[in-house]
């Protein structure tokens, strides 16, 4: 049956900001859905608060709303756009939950809007644990014994019917937030209470744990005629007990017989039927008892998910595209498989390779957080790798992570009792557990004993053991690396770097040896059908194969005769490098294609749009390491004209490689590596600034701790310290005295070795400004100037910012523009440039400092593009291939009628016990944008979009450091005028009383009860302004911020933040929020 004609317009709901558990995979699925629905002729209305997405590019929808994902905004959009249908399955848990709200509030019914893709009944049946378990038992499937409770006392009652450990799962939350595994009664009480708080329904499921069972996932697609297919099976190497997002996984499932696989297949389809997923993709999770094959259903998601993105990339079957078509009435046999083009989508992909996914964590950013992995997801990104064997695939994935691993790297242990130490590490899941498995083999621990500790399937353990054994063999033969030895090492997936490490030679030497012996990888297609059909796809991966291959056999990687450019992607998402850079890479690809240049993408992040097989002309799903890139360059250079590599779009990942690429004489287009180095190298940069009469905060550079100290003293405290060549302010810290300095230097030497340390004078109370600019080498175009809301010292990625600036003078803006243009010219920038300035007000003077110059795409590029309407990443890519900027064709960056505020989103709730205070080290995972007619309104929207509820009345708690008191006075007066009641601690209260402001008093936590935390927990506080300074008062107020975090009370920890909130509240009082599409600005 053809598509539905009774619906004309469809509202697609996005997933909002990147958070742990919901990353750019929903940009991938959402943009696919938008593309398909427009192709089918529907009017697409899109709402998403995340400006860094491809889906919010104006050409992806007929009306694009970058607005908060709240019921209020959605209702306004529905009233204005009058869509016929809402597609809720592309935007993760956020969109599902929102759709249920829309349904419950009758907004859908009153406006005659239909939900397509999933019905409310199905969503609720899948998400409500009790209904789900009942549904499963109805179709004869087992689920772990479980009980739903809404209070701790009920929880304790049901615990009598179960045995510890148990798993606690809050209903309707994302990535298991608020849940966990309780091994004892104390943990049980903690997790149940926290889980009830975290659940929007205030319920948790207490479930008998099946720890140690094998875990599987099935990606299922079903159409309205009840045709169902399994797109991909996924096996978690980490057994039950680790959230699937945090587990290392392989595809297809490897350790199931066909009998077991088919049982799971039947069950998966039965689950979709029973839950009532009538069209679209779902994922069903199972646990299997390794002792007897007993199978239980763990859960299902009635929507596309992180796993479906992985499955799409793993097989070449675009689940989101197909699901979108099914949602508008097609059946599976009516949709063609785009990869083979001769077969329909109604088949089950067969793959002839092994796919490995490894999550990437950011624990180093959250000191104090436990690294133990549980049922609540903690990873911030992931890598995927493809190769013909498990060994090669796993090795590739390890080096794709960019965490410094070159394989199963050794863990150096000083413990006396290494064996028991390792066994304890094996029994407690952590990001490093897989390395401990290898270490266990090195320490000659028996396989069975390793199995008993970690319950990772024997087969995987055996494979790791073989790899460890091979390492020893390679080491033994280091003096005589023969062609055989090298070939076999490559067949087992060892990287050149790893082989060099084992044989005490260099990566270059091994590469030369490979050349000498003619040992190179083969490239194969991801074709959905294991070679059964001829395909035209250009989605490729490399793998080493046995030599002696007859040359007449088809080479699958066809090298074109065209002009071409290779774009290096950004690798796995991490804090500081995420979707923004993928956005830039995707735009580069679009720009190249529009200029008829073959675009070739290399990336290893399965969540992204850049690794969608139809984003670029050619996609190599490969690690971003020198070795892997060299192999691709070698081939692509062999025919046609390789103009060069784009390295300025993928964040730090490709930049780190620039020197190596230069050494190998690989052409780089855009700003030269020399200029990049000039900006990154402190000494050279300092000279450059002096030469051009530009000012930077006093600074120095040192390699030894004594030198660091003496420089700090010379500059005078506070100073800001950081290692060179890092992104996201990794290990960056403001140091107020010599004691702290000592601690910092010791830690840093451990983590970063001999990298020089940079020391800068910290500018107290300065305003930070971010500038993005474009340059073609001659013309410089100011793309956007953003004023940070938080003062300098807070990482720019964590700070909210406003475009245009809301408080800077015209004079200083002129100065910023002038200096930006000067730097762009002097650095011979071709492409994008980002500069961070600081404006300091001293004795009525405005002093302008340059903090950082980055001749590359910055995190703010997509925000600037959305705020101004100029697609600057595309223009930058065109500059790199020699096009000139036509400023007249661009929109001015400044408009008095349009303010855009970017706000960061933080993962603190995921890391128990970590302070929420911000500093120079970046901690946010994502961002939202608020767009409106003035700053206050835009700021309000940005806050609401992060999930905050700005109160219209109630108590505001105020406690500020002495220095801030004069500023808070004004704020408080206006808050009182707006009708809020103020609650303060003694110092602030006394001060405000002398200013004749009516406040009530509350105890600090250390002053006895009832205190402020009691008030917060009792929900008597609607908003918190709390600025602190000094270690003592920071630790005193820690419990306050934690309480606010867990009770969802908005809190502001800087005075500039407080001022902005005041403006927001005033504006909201005046007029309610309004919505407006990007296209109508």
Q: Does 479 bind other proteins (CB under 8 A)?
A: no
> 365 by DSSP, 3-state: which?
helix
Supply the minimum distance, in Å, between the C-beta of residue 463 and other proteins: 8
Of the candidate spans 526-534, 585-593, 681-689, 775-783, the one that interacts with other proteins by CB under 8 A turns out to be 526-534
Looking at the Cβ atoms of 532 and 1029, the one nearer to other proteins is 532
Nearest partner of 580 among 360, 862, 379, 783, judged by Cα? 862
Nearest partner of 61 among 34, 88, 39, 83, judged by Cα? 34
Q: Does 524 bind other proteins (CB under 8 A)?
A: yes
Q: Does 1066 bind other proteins (CB under 8 A)?
A: no
Looking at the Cβ atoms of 259 and 504, the one nearer to other proteins is 259
Residue 551 token pair: 């040359």
* Cα(1058)–Cα(227) distance, integer angstroms: 55
- What are the phi and psi torsion angles at 933 (to 5°)? -80, -20
Contacts (CB under 8 A) with other proteins, residues 26-65: none
Looking at the Cβ atoms of 92 and 239, the one nearer to other proteins is 239
Q: Does 556 bind other proteins (CB under 8 A)?
A: yes
Looking at the Cβ atoms of 467 and 579, the one nearer to other proteins is 467
Looking at the Cβ atoms of 310 and 491, the one nearer to other proteins is 491
Looking at the Cβ atoms of 266 and 952, the one nearer to other proteins is 266
> 1072 by DSSP, 3-state: which?
coil
Q: CB of 268 within 8 A of CB of 218? A: yes
- The helix (H) or strand (E) run that includes residue 148 is strand 146-149
- Distances in Å between the Cα of 745 and the Cα atoms of 220, 664, 697, 1049 are 52, 35, 21, 36
Supply the minimum distance, in Å, between the C-beta of residue 465 and other proteins: 9
Contacts (CB under 8 A) with other proteins, residues 233-262: 252, 254-259, 261-262
- Distances in Å between the Cα of 666 and the Cα atoms of 516, 620, 658, 663, 855 are 20, 18, 9, 8, 19
Contacts (CB under 8 A) with other proteins, residues 263-322: 265-266, 290-293
Looking at the Cβ atoms of 193 and 488, the one nearer to other proteins is 488
874 CB contacts (<8 Å, ≥6 apart)?
A: 587, 588, 590, 591, 594
Q: CB of 366 within 8 A of CB of 728? A: no
> 646 by DSSP, 3-state: which?
strand
* Cα(9)–Cα(87) distance, integer angstroms: 10
Sheet holding 166-170, edge to edge: 146-149, 204-208, 166-170, 180-182
Looking at the Cβ atoms of 334 and 698, the one nearer to other proteins is 334
Which member of 457, 776, 903, 915 binds other proteins (CB under 8 A)? Answer: 457
Of the candidate spans 220-228, 410-418, 425-433, 729-737, the one that interacts with other proteins by CB under 8 A turns out to be 220-228
Looking at the Cβ atoms of 350 and 1018, the one nearer to other proteins is 350
Q: CB of 297 within 8 A of CB of 286? A: yes
With tokens 């923004």, the residue in question is: 580
Which member of 403, 449, 522, 641 binds other proteins (CB under 8 A)? Answer: 522
Supply the minimum distance, in Å, between the C-beta of residue 355 and other proteins: 12
Which member of 452, 469, 962, 1007 binds other proteins (CB under 8 A)? Answer: 469
Supply the minimum distance, in Å, between the C-beta of residue 485 and other proteins: 8
Contacts (CB under 8 A) with other proteins, residues 95-124: none
* Cα(745)–Cα(736) distance, integer angstroms: 14
* Cα(540)–Cα(725) distance, integer angstroms: 31
Looking at the Cβ atoms of 272 and 579, the one nearer to other proteins is 272
Which member of 530, 558, 751, 891 binds other proteins (CB under 8 A)? Answer: 530
Which member of 415, 550, 596, 1071 binds other proteins (CB under 8 A)? Answer: 550
Of the candidate spans 350-358, 820-828, 938-946, 1064-1072, the one that interacts with other proteins by CB under 8 A turns out to be 350-358
Which member of 55, 133, 229, 300 binds other proteins (CB under 8 A)? Answer: 229
Supply the minimum distance, in Å, between the C-beta of residue 522 and other proteins: 7
Looking at the Cβ atoms of 234 and 786, the one nearer to other proteins is 234
Looking at the Cβ atoms of 492 and 669, the one nearer to other proteins is 492
Binding mask 352-391 for other proteins (x = CB under 8 A): xxx---------------------------------xxx-
With tokens 């079903």, the residue in question is: 222
Supply the minimum distance, in Å, between the C-beta of residue 924 and other proteins: 41
Total residues at interface with other proteins (CB under 8 A)? 72
Contacts (CB under 8 A) with other proteins, residues 330-349: 331-333, 342-344, 346-349
Looking at the Cβ atoms of 214 and 788, the one nearer to other proteins is 214
Of the candidate spans 200-208, 477-485, 813-821, 957-965, the one that interacts with other proteins by CB under 8 A turns out to be 477-485
Looking at the Cβ atoms of 535 and 733, the one nearer to other proteins is 535
Looking at the Cβ atoms of 387 and 824, the one nearer to other proteins is 387
Supply the minimum distance, in Å, between the C-beta of residue 410 and other proteins: 19
Which member of 138, 161, 462, 634 binds other proteins (CB under 8 A)? Answer: 462
Supply the minimum distance, in Å, between the C-beta of residue 504 and other proteins: 20
Of the candidate spans 225-233, 512-520, 802-810, 910-918, the one that interacts with other proteins by CB under 8 A turns out to be 225-233
Looking at the Cβ atoms of 213 and 590, the one nearer to other proteins is 213
Looking at the Cβ atoms of 52 and 229, the one nearer to other proteins is 229
Q: Which residues pair with 213 in a beta bridge?
A: none
Which member of 39, 226, 446, 683 binds other proteins (CB under 8 A)? Answer: 226
* Cα(129)–Cα(144) distance, integer angstroms: 11
* Cα(475)–Cα(483) distance, integer angstroms: 15
Q: What angle do CA 406, 729, 675 make, to 5 degrees?
A: 80
140 CB contacts (<8 Å, ≥6 apart)?
A: none
Which member of 9, 193, 227, 779 binds other proteins (CB under 8 A)? Answer: 227
Nearest partner of 163 among 179, 178, 184, 180, judged by Cα? 184
Q: CB of 942 within 8 A of CB of 929? A: yes
With tokens 């080096």, the residue in question is: 399
Q: How many angstroms from the chain centroid is the CA of residue 1014?
A: 35
* Cα(943)–Cα(950) distance, integer angstroms: 8
Q: CB of 562 within 8 A of CB of 637? A: no
Of the candidate spans 274-282, 466-474, 930-938, 1014-1022, the one that interacts with other proteins by CB under 8 A turns out to be 466-474
Supply the minimum distance, in Å, between the C-beta of residue 620 and other proteins: 17
Of the candidate spans 484-492, 579-587, 727-735, 909-917, the one that interacts with other proteins by CB under 8 A turns out to be 484-492
Q: Does 491 bind other proteins (CB under 8 A)?
A: yes
* Cα(911)–Cα(180) distance, integer angstroms: 12
Q: CB of 276 within 8 A of CB of 119? A: yes
Looking at the Cβ atoms of 287 and 748, the one nearer to other proteins is 287
Contacts (CB under 8 A) with other proteins, residues 149-188: none
Supply the minimum distance, in Å, between the C-beta of residue 514 and other proteins: 15
Residue 352 token pair: 């002839």
Strands 719-723 and 757-761 turn out to be: antiparallel
* Cα(119)–Cα(575) distance, integer angstroms: 35
Of the candidate spans 523-531, 585-593, 835-843, 976-984, the one that interacts with other proteins by CB under 8 A turns out to be 523-531
* Other beta carbons within 10 Å of 826: 15
Nearest partner of 280 among 493, 115, 168, judged by Cα? 115
With 0-12 / 13-18 / 19 or more C-beta atoms within 10 angstroms meaning exposed / middle / buried, residue 792 is buried
Of the candidate spans 190-198, 529-537, 695-703, 753-761, the one that interacts with other proteins by CB under 8 A turns out to be 529-537
- DSSP-derived secondary structure letter, 231: E
Nearest partner of 632 among 520, 737, 492, judged by Cα? 520
């Amino acid at each position: 049956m053809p598509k539905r004609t009774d619906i004309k317009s469809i509202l697609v709901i996005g997933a909002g900001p990147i958070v742990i558990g919901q990353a750019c995979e929903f940009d991938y699925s959402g943009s696919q859905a938008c593309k398909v629905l427009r192709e089918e002729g529907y009017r697409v209305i899109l709402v998403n608060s995340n400006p860094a997405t491809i889906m919010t590019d104006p050409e992806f929808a007929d009306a694009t709303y970058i607005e908060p994902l709240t019921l209020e905004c959605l209702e306004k959009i529905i009233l204005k756009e009058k869509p016929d249908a809402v597609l809720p399955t592309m935007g993760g848990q956020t969109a599902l939950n929102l759709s249920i709200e829309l349904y419950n509030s009758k907004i859908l019914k009153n406006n005659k809007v239909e939900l397509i893709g999933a019905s409310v009944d199905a969503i609720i049946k899948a998400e409500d644990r009790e209904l789900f378990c009942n549904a499963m038992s109805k179709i004869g499937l087992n689920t772990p014994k479980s009980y739903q409770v809404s209070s701790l006392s009920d929880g304790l009652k049901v615990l009598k019917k179960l045995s510890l450990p148990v798993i606690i799962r809050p209903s309707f939350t994302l990535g298991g937030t608020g849940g966990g595994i309780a091994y004892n009664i104390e943990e049980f009480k903690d997790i149940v209470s926290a889980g009830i708080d975290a659940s929007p329904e205030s319920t948790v499921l207490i479930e008998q744990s099946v720890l140690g069972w094998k875990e599987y996932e099935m990606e299922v697609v079903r159409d309205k005629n009840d045709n169902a297919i399994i797109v991909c099976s996924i096996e978690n190497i980490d057994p039950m007990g680790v959230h699937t997002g945090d587990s290392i996984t392989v595809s297809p499932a490897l350790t199931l017989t066909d009998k077991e696989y088919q049982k799971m297949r039947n069950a998966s389809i039965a689950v979709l039927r029973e839950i009532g997923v009538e069209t679209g993709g779902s994922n069903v999770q199972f646990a299997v008892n390794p002792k007897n094959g007993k199978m239980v259903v763990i859960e299902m998601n009635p929507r596309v998910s992180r796993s479906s993105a992985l499955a799409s990339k793993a097989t070449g079957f675009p689940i989101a595209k197909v699901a979108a078509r099914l949602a508008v009435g097609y059946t599976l046999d009516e949709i063609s498989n785009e990869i083979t083009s001769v077969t329909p989508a109604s088949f089950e992909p067969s793959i002839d390779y092994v796919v490995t996914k490894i999550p990437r964590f950011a624990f180093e950013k959250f000191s104090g957080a436990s690294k133990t992995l549980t049922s609540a997801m903690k990873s911030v990104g992931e890598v995927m790798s493809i190769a013909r064997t498990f060994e090669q695939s796993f090795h590739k994935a390890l080096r794709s992570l960019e965490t410094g691993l070159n394989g199963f790297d050794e863990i150096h242990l000083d413990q006396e009792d290494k064996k028991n130490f390792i066994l304890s590490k094996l029994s407690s899941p952590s990001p490093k557990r897989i390395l401990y498995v290898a270490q266990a083999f090195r320490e000659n621990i028996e396989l069975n004993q390793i199995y008993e500790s970690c319950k990772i399937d024997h087969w995987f353990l055996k494979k790791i053991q073989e790899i460890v054994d091979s390492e020893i063999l390679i080491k033994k033969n280091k003096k005589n690396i023969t062609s055989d030895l090298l070939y076999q090492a490559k067949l087992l997936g060892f990287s050149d770097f790893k082989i060099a490490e084992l044989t005490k030679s260099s990566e270059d030497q091994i590469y030369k040896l490979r050349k000498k012996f003619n040992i190179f990888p083969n490239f194969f297609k991801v074709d959905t059908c294991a070679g059964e059909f001829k395909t035209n796809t250009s989605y490729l991966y490399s793998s080493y194969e046995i030599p002696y291959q007859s040359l007449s056999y088809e080479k699958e990687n066809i090298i074109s005769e065209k002009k071409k450019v290779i774009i290096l992607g950004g690798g796995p998402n991490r804090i500081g490098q995420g979707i923004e850079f993928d956005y830039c890479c995707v735009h580069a690809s679009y720009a190249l294609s529009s200029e008829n240049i073959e675009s070739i993408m290399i990336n290893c992040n399965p969540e992204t749009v850049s690794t969608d097989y139809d984003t670029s002309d050619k996609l190599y799903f490969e690690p971003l390491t020198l070795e892997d890139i060299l192999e691709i360059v070698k081939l692509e250079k062999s025919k046609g004209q390789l103009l060069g590599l784009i390295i300025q779009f993928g964040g730090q990942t490709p930049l780190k490689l620039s020197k190596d690429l230069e050494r190998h004489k690989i052409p780089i287009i855009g700003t030269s590596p020399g200029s990049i180095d000039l900006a990154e190298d402190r000494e050279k940069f300092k000279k450059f600034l002096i030469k051009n009469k530009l000012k930077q905060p006093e600074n120095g550079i040192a390699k030894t701790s004594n030198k660091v100290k003496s420089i700090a003293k010379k500059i005078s405290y506070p100073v800001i310290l950081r290692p060179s060549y890092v992104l996201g302010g990794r290990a960056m810290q403001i140091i107020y005295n010599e004691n702290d300095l000592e601690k910092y230097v010791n830690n840093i030497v451990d983590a970063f070795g001999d990298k020089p340390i940079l020391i800068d004078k910290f500018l107290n109370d300065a305003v930070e400004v971010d500038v993005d600019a474009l340059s073609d080498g001659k013309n410089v175009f100011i793309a956007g100037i953003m004023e940070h809301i938080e003062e300098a010292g807070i990482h720019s990625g964590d700070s909210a910012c406003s475009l245009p600036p809301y408080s800077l003078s015209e004079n200083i803006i002129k100065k910023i523009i002038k200096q930006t243009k000067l730097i762009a010219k002097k650095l011979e920038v071709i492409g994008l440039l980002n500069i961070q300035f600081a404006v300091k007000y001293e004795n009525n003077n405005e002093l302008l400092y340059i903090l950082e110059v980055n001749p590359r795409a910055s995190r703010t590029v997509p925000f600037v593009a959305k705020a101004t309407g100029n697609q600057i990443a595309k223009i930058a890519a065109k500059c790199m291939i020699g096009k000139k900027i036509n400023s007249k064709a661009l929109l001015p960056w400044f408009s008095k009628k349009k303010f855009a505020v970017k706000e960061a989103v933080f993962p603190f709730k995921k890391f128990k016990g970590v302070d929420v205070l911000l500093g120079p080290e970046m901690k946010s995972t994502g961002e939202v944008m608020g767009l409106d007619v003035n700053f206050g309104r835009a700021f309000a929207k940005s806050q609401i979009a992060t999930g905050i509820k700005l109160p219209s009345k109630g108590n505001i708690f105020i406690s500020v450091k002495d220095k801030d008191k004069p500023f808070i006075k004004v704020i408080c007066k206006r808050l009182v005028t707006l009708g809020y009641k103020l609650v303060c601690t003694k110092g602030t209260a006394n001060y405000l009383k002398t200013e004749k402001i009516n406040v009530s008093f509350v105890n600090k936590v250390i002053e006895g009860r009832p205190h402020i935390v009691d008030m917060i927990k009792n929900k008597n506080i609607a908003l918190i302004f709390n600025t602190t300074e000094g270690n003592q008062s920071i630790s005193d107020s820690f419990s306050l911020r934690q309480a606010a975090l867990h009770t969802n009370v908005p809190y502001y920890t800087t005075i500039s933040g407080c001022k902005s909130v005041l403006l927001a509240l005033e504006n909201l009082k005046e007029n309610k929020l309004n919505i407006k599409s990007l296209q109508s600005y």
